[in-house]
Structures are given as C-alpha cells and as structure tokens.
Amino acid sequence: MRTSLERVTEFLAYKRMAMVGISHDPADFSVKLFEELIRCGYDVVPVNPNCGEVGGRRCFGRMQDVEPPVEAVLLMTPPEVTEGVVRDCFDAGVRTVWMYRATGRGSVSPKAVEYCEDRGIHVIPGECPFMFLPESAVFHRFHGFVRKIMGRYPRAAA
C-alpha cells in the first residue's frame, strides 16, 4: 500500500494523538519527534508500559488506558510489537494509525498493515512525520526533497 498525501494530511489534522513506543531516554529519536509535535501545537499522549512519564506528561501503559481516548496513534514500536499494538488501537476505538519509518525497518509490519486494512483503520505504513511538519529542520525537509526526486514521496490521490 502506498501512502497518499491525503492520508498524511488527515492524520496531521488530529491535534491530539498518542505516541506508542516512546522512549524514556531524552536523547532518543522518539522523544525528539514527541517534542517537535508538541512545539507544533499537538497534544501528544505518550504510551509505553515501561515509563511513568515523558516530558512531564503522564505515560499510559497501553492504548485502552488512555484518557480521554485519542483518534490517531503514531507507532514508534519495533515491527514485532506493532501487530499487537494495532489490535490494542482497534479495541480502543482508534481508526487512524501511522507506523513510523525513516530508515531501516521502522515500525512497519506487513501483518499489522493487513490487520488495519481488513478492519477499516486508516494506516500510513511508513514515512517520517518530520518531513511533513511545518518549519522542521533542514535535514528533514531535505529528506522529503530526496524522496520526491526518487518518486517515493506521498502523492495526492488521482
């Protein structure tokens, strides 16, 4: 499945979202993305069963515990964990999921993508949110530019 620009825009229109798999290490990439989303005006709810709080915000153990519930979830989990998390998202009523990937495997799991598609969950299987955030660092804009040249940047639906 190829990600459409509309799917990215739809996801980023949710001003409150959960980030599952965020690290407790302040130097971790997931924390940098968490901080950037907050700087851009998003209310980001951290979810990680091994953290009590991240960035001064209460960290929930699983999606079903998030109060009040969210409608969109950004996954920063290893692919082996992603399938279980999308099941939790479905059980929690979440119907919009972004599986992070910049380089390497990211969070994308083909079985998890199939699970989402079979249940009507809007899924972004890959992509780095930094490329789509306004005023992101030059490196992230360059990453998006390179993906456009290579024909791998999300396109508007035909």
Is 142 among the domain residues?
Answer: yes
Question: What percent of the chain is predicted at pLDDT more than 70?
Answer: 80
Question: What percent of the chain is predicted at pLDDT more than 90?
Answer: 65
Is 154 among the domain residues?
Answer: no
Predicted model pTM: 0.84
Is 156 among the domain residues?
Answer: no
| Both tokens assigned to 44 | 């980001």
Residues 47-56 have a mean pLDDT of: 93
Is 158 among the domain residues?
Answer: no
Q: What is the pLDDT of residue 1?
A: 46
Q: What is the pLDDT of residue 15?
A: 94
Is 157 among the domain residues?
Answer: no
For 78-83, the CB contacts below 8 A with 24+ separation are: 78/21, 78/105, 78/107, 79/105, 79/106, 79/107, 79/108, 79/109, 79/112, 80/109, 81/21, 82/107, 82/108, 82/109, 82/112, 83/109, 83/111, 83/112, 83/115
Is 155 among the domain residues?
Answer: no
Binning pLDDT at 50, 70 and 90, where does residue 101 land?
Answer: confident
Is 130 among the domain residues?
Answer: yes
> 20-45, pLDDT tens digit by residue?
999 999 999 899 999 999 989 999 99
Is 16 among the domain residues?
Answer: yes
CATH of the domain at 32: 3.40.50.720
Please provide residue 133's backbone torsions phi and psi, each rounded to the nearest 5 degrees.
-85, 140
What total of structural domains would you count in the chain?
1
Mean pLDDT of the chain: 86
